[in-house]
């Protein structure tokens, strides 16, 4: 793979042994759509390691053997690429970038990133906004990134909006981040301006520790994507921007509670489609409604019926994505046996007691936050959530076994 930045426009070319169909870090097959994209709202004078890392979050799935950047990177970054991926990276010759003092939040506006933001009330936001690609037809105009950007602007926090079409480099399964870390590409290019030493994401207990996302269904202490000692964690650290998961120790029930009771509650939006509010009709709205109903202990309020295509996956057998939250909802939503989730009840023995571990914070998630930001998160969790007992910790660590 050869990578060229022209200003903040990225283009890349495949080496002979690279292929158009590659694999993301979670082993999901991804197909390349086109070999260019651009990032807006960012300076063009970032440290070479930041340019290299930003590019790597985009080209990693399609790189087999080596990556050649258009400017020299530090030996530390090259070593992290080699150790993590077995990839030869160069040219080498730059001084490493030292970590800055600021922690910023990669803010999408969903419940999880709002919760992460409430842990650090002083942290500035970096918001990624999708824009169309000049060469790829946009067949997804229902994705209302403009609405989300407007909501982010109303939060009153220091906000940096980066615009990018990088999601259109992905043809299959659909446009999106080639690697989950590509959401940080713009934030990385801003890292010198913001004096960043860490970037906080809304990834919660399920994504970090329970193999969530594109589903592994087991305890994942060495999560390759989000653990600080995983290959991505070490690569980000080498560029002086540590991965920080402020809500990595709590479930989506807790992030929902924190977000909907926070100062930012009026600006929370997990739906990508709605304009005046969540659309209530997409799969994500249904999933989040189950969690919200469970947290508020009220019946499910959704117009979605069992015959809708978005409901299909909940009518099948488990495992489900975010299964721990399905169990939590099944145990707590009044009248759940009269909803489309009724069928799922047959597969689980759930009760409030058996799911109460999802209401507390897993302590190891706080321990892995870099020292300069750890105490603030620990104090927040102690005051607002409470830590898991040993028995509850065991529930996390035996998940899926």
Partner 1 sequence: MMRVLVPARLRKAVRTWFDSRYISIANHRQDIRDALWEVQTLRREMVTLQSEVERLRNARPQAAPPKVDKLDKAKLDDTHRLAQETAKALDGLLQNEVLIWQAVDDLRARLPTPSAAKEGQQPCA
List residues binding partner 1 (CB under 8 A): 2-4, 6, 11-16, 18, 20, 32-36, 70, 135-137, 139, 171
Nearer CB in complex with partner 1: 32/105: 32
* Backbone phi and psi for residue 34, each to the nearest 5 degrees, phi listed first: -155, 165
CB 301 to partner 1: min, Å: 18
CB 393 to partner 1: min, Å: 48
Q: Which two tokens stand for residue 263?
A: 């100062």
Nearer CB in complex with partner 1: 72/216: 72
Nearer CB in complex with partner 1: 139/297: 139
CB 238 to partner 1: min, Å: 24
CB 305 to partner 1: min, Å: 16
> In three state form, how does the secondary structure of the chain look?
CEEEEECCEEEEECCCCCCCEEECCCCCEEEECCCEEEEECCCCCCCHHHHHHHHHHHHHHHCCCEEEEEEEEEHHHHHHHHHHHCCEEEEEEECCCCCCCEEEEECCCCHHHHHHHHHCCCCCEEEEEECCCCCCCCCCCCCCHHHHHHHHHCCCCCEEEEEECHHHHEEECCCCCCCHHHHHHHHHHHHHHHCEEEEECCCCHHHHHCCCCCCCCCCCCCCCCCCCCCHHHHHHHHCCCEEECCCCCCCHHHHHHHHHCCCCHHHCCCCCCCCCCCCCCCHHHHHHHHHHHHHHCCCCCCCCCCCCHHHHHHHCCCCCCCHHHHHHHHHHCCCHHHCCCHHHHHHCCCCCCCCHHHHCECHHHHHCCCHHHHHHHHHHHHHHCCECCHHHHHHHHCCCC
CB 49 to partner 1: min, Å: 20
Nearer CB in complex with partner 1: 55/256: 55
CB 222 to partner 1: min, Å: 34
CB 136 to partner 1: min, Å: 7
Nearer CB in complex with partner 1: 82/135: 135
Q: Which residues pair with 90 in a beta bridge?
A: 68
Nearer CB in complex with partner 1: 7/121: 7
Nearer CB in complex with partner 1: 9/397: 9
CB 47 to partner 1: min, Å: 21
Distance set, CA 142 to CA 44, 171, 265, 272, 308 (Å): 31, 17, 24, 8, 18
Nearer CB in complex with partner 1: 170/325: 170
Nearer CB in complex with partner 1: 6/275: 6
CB 287 to partner 1: min, Å: 27
């Amino acid at each position: 793979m050869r990578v060229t930045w022209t200003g903040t426009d990225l283009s890349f070319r495949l080496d002979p042994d690279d292929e158009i169909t590659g694999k993301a870090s979670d082993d999901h097959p991804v197909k390349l759509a086109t070999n260019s994209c651009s990032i807006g709202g960012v300076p063009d004078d970032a440290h070479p390691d930041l340019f290299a890392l930003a590019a790597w979050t985009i080209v990693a799935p399609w790189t087999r053997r080596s990556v050649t950047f258009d400017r020299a990177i530090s030996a530390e970054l090259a070593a992290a690429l080699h150790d993590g991926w077995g990839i030869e990276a160069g040219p080498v010759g730059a001084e490493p970038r030292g970590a800055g003092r600021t922690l910023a939040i990669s803010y999408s506006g969903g419940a999880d990133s709002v919760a992460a933001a409430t842990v650090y009330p002083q942290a500035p936001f970096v918001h990624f906004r999708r824009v169309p690609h000049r060469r790829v037809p946009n067949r997804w105009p229902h994705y209302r990134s403009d609405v989300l950007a407007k909501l982010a602007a109303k939060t009153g926090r220091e906000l940096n909006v980066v615009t990018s079409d990088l999601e259109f480099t992905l043809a299959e399964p659909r446009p999106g981040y080639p690697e989950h870390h590509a959401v940080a590409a713009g934030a990385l290019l801003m890292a010198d301006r913001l004096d960043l030493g860490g970037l906080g994401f809304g990834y919660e207990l399920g994504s970090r520790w329970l193999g969530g996302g594109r589903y592994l269904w087991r305890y994942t202490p060495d999560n390759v994507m989000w653990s600080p000692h995983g290959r991505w964690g070490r690569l980000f650290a080498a560029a002086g921007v540590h991965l920080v998961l402020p809500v990595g120790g709590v479930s989506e029930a807790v992030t929902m509670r924190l977000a909907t009771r926070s100062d930012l509650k009026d600006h929370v939006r997990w739906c990508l489609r709605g304009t005046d509010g969540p659309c209530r009709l997409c799969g994500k709205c249904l999933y989040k409604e189950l969690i919200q109903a469970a947290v508020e202990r009220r019946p499910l309020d959704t117009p979605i019926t069992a015959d809708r295509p978005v409901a299909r996956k909940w009518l099948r057998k488990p495992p489900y994505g975010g299964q721990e939250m399905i169990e939590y909802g099944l145990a707590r939503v009044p009248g759940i046996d009269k909803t489309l989730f009724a069928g799922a009840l047959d597969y689980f023995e759930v009760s409030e007691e058996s799911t109460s571990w999802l209401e507390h914070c897993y302590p190891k998630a706080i321990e892995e936050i870099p020292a300069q930001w750890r105490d603030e998160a620990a104090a927040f969790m102690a005051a607002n959530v409470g830590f898991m007992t040993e028995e509850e910790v065991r529930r996390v660590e035996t998940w899926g076994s």
